[in-house]
Structure 1
Amino acid sequence: MELDEMKLAWQALDRRLVQQQALHLQLYRDSRMDHLRRRLRPLVWGLLLQIPLGIALMLWGISFWSSHLGDVGSMISGIAMQVFGTLGVIFPARTLAMLQGIDYAAPVLDIQHRIADLRAWRVKVEAPVFAVLGSVIWIPALLMLAQYAGDRAGVNLWDHVRPGFVIWLVLSAVVSLAVVGLAYVVLRRLGLLRWLANQLAGRAVQRAEAELDAVMRFERENG
């Protein structure tokens, strides 16, 4: 009878230990998930600031080309700015939707997959698109500002364009794109593509990944 009582006591102790360990794991996980939310918060703020800027550029482009109908050069410049501004709204909105889709109560592996998708989106889609477009968008912006000056003087910029100016525009775009390509090649030759990917993903994503790695290690060691 004493042996049975001892077995029951050990079983009860084991259950309490298991419950305490589970509680400890849950408390640790909840703490880390709170840290994770805070790590991602600066990214959310940055994205929320980008959207009004994208809207402003989009409206600027629309306002410009709609007030210069029939002027092909001006319309192209305005539409280019409208497209750039529109992407400046769509891309941050897409990233915010990905962040909103993270379920912090889900298994850590699922959250890691979400963060990995976020990293891939920022590094493989968002960054290349804005690197290419951002390197040449200054050209239509410059042309739009020049045409505003022409409007005040009653002059159409494109009526006085010389072949040399068009060649300069083309060369400027080529050089700008070449600089972006050259920077990528140099970083690749130096073995810094991983560093580049981290920079493009952003510090918030890197810190979130570190938090999740810590949770995974803790669960493996104490699970």
Structure 2
Amino acid sequence: MDTTMELDDFKSAWQAIDRRLELDNRLKLHDLRERTLHKARGSLRPLFWGQVAQILFAIPFILLAALLWMSQPAHASTIFAGVLVHAYGVLTIIGAGVVLGQIGRIDHALPVLEIQKQLLRARTLYIRSGMVAGLPWWFLWVAILQVLAGLGDGDLLAKAPSLVWSGYGIGIAGLLATWWFHRWARRPERAEFGRKMDDSLTGGSLRKALAQLDELKRFEQE
């Protein structure tokens, strides 16, 4: 009888210890999750302000195009250049706004895997936004020169046709070369190089946040 009671007491004590250990592990995991998610949110601040800076960077191009429209340009080539500059400003702002919207939609109360998916979506949008802001500069500088000439009622294409045509030609060649390199870097035999290139295009804050969540995910799975 006494032996049975001792065994029951031992089992009860062991179960109590097991429950305490389980509760302690849950509390530690919860604390780790909160600290990691706080760090991840902090890591995204540079990305947020970077997109705000991109919006501020794009506004002068819209204003420059607006000045051109107010001057009522008469030359078709100048109008074409004004449309390019205006479109660049608008699309650059839209690209940054889409990234900011995705950052704002990240729900840190979701499971880690879902948060990672949202961050990867933000990463894709960030890369696309960067392409919109960066790639047009292959030829945008020519359009800006044309707009500046148009503000003085000048036609840069008529005054310096070789500059304009060669500038756009170089821009088209540069875009094609960039497209070719993008395809070349992503062939299966160069997968590692392509991954490194993607990492270089991804903002440091996004890489840091994703790495922090990867560490948390591994800990939860252990």
Q: Which moved more, 1:73-82 or 1:14-23?
A: 73-82
Q: Which residue of 2 aligns with 1:171?
A: 169
Indicate whether 1:78 and 2:82 are aligned. Answer: yes
Partner amino acid, structure 2, of 1:122: Y
Partner amino acid, structure 1, of 2:94: I
Give structure 2 stretches of 5+ with no counterpart.
none
Q: Which moved more, 1:30-39 or 1:182-191?
A: 182-191
- Distance in 1 (alpha carbons) for counterparts of 2:157 and 2:205: 49
- Distance in 2 (alpha carbons) for counterparts of 1:142 and 1:183: 28
- Distance in 2 (alpha carbons) for counterparts of 1:140 and 1:200: 26
Give the fraction of aligned pairs with identical amino acids, expressed as a percent: 30
Q: Which residue of 1 aligns with 2:210?
A: 209
Number of residue pairs the alignment of both structures matches: 215
Question: Is the alpha carbon distance of 1:43 and 1:54 closer, same or farther for their aligned partners in structure 2, counting shifts above 3 Å?
Answer: same
Partner amino acid, structure 2, of 1:140: A
Q: Kindly provide the CA deviation profile for residues 18-49 of structure 1, in whole angstroms up to 9, marking residues without a partner as x.
A: 11000000111111111111211111111111
TM-score, with structure 1 as normaliser: 0.84
Per the alignment, in what secondary structure is the counterpart of residue 58 of structure 2? helix
Partner amino acid, structure 2, of 1:180: T
Partner amino acid, structure 1, of 2:196: W
Question: Is the alpha carbon distance of 1:80 and 1:51 closer, same or farther for their aligned partners in structure 2, counting shifts above 3 Å?
Answer: same
Partner amino acid, structure 2, of 1:55: I
Q: Which residue of 2 aligns with 1:126?
A: 129
Per the alignment, in what secondary structure is the counterpart of residue 137 of structure 1? helix
- Distance in 2 (alpha carbons) for counterparts of 1:169 and 1:84: 17
Equivalent residues of 1:32, 1:211 under 8 A apart: yes
Q: 1:188: Cα distance to partner?
A: 5.0
CA RMSD of aligned residues (A): 2.4
User: 1:41-56 counterparts in 2 under 5 A?
Assistant: 41-56=45-60
Indicate whether 1:33 and 2:37 are aligned. Answer: yes
Equivalent residues of 1:68, 1:74 under 8 A apart: no
Equivalent residues of 2:75, 2:155 under 8 A apart: no
Equivalent residues of 1:40, 1:204 under 8 A apart: yes
- Distance in 1 (alpha carbons) for counterparts of 2:105 and 2:78: 41
Partner amino acid, structure 2, of 1:29: R
Partner amino acid, structure 1, of 2:122: L
Equivalent residues of 2:85, 2:140 under 8 A apart: yes
Q: 1:68: Cα distance to partner?
A: 2.7
Partner amino acid, structure 2, of 1:195: K
Q: Which residue of 2 aligns with 1:109?
A: 113
